[in-house]
């Protein structure tokens, strides 16, 4: 199975020329990577609006993808 960060032999997560596959600590299938993102978005959505707004501005260019892309 291929890692979510593999682009040919290049690893975009670690920015190294050789992907080490399942031996790498960053290795995740695309499905596992999507599940991890969904879990993180669920956690952010539980925070109060002020903190969500802060996170959206600092890390997501003002977008709130955990609320279907609404702007802060």
Task: Tell me what pLDDT residue 39 has.
Answer: 95
pLDDT at 20 (0 to 100)? 83
Distance CA 29, CA 47 (A): 28
Give the Cα separation of 11 and 2 in Å (integer): 11
> How does pLDDT run across 7-49, given as a tens digit for each residue?
888 888 888 788 888 888 889 999 999 999 999 999 999 999 9
Give the pLDDT confidence score for residue 48 in this predicted structure.
Answer: 96
CA distance linking residue 20 with residue 46, whole number of Å: 36
Does pTM top 0.85 for this prediction? no
Token representation of residue 54? 């802060």
Rounded to 5°, angle at Cα 31 from 42 and 66: 25
List the structure tokens of 39: 């879990």
> Is residue 70 scored above 70 in pLDDT?
no
């Amino acid at each position: 199975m291929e890692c979510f960060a593999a682009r040919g032999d290049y690893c975009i997560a670690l920015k190294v020329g050789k992907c080490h596959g399942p031996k790498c600590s960053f290795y995740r299938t695309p499905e596992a990577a999507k599940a991890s993102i969904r879990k993180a978005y669920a956690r952010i959505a539980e925070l109060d609006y002020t903190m969500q707004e802060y996170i959206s501005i600092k890390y997501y260019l003002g977008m709130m993808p955990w609320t279907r892309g609404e702007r802060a």
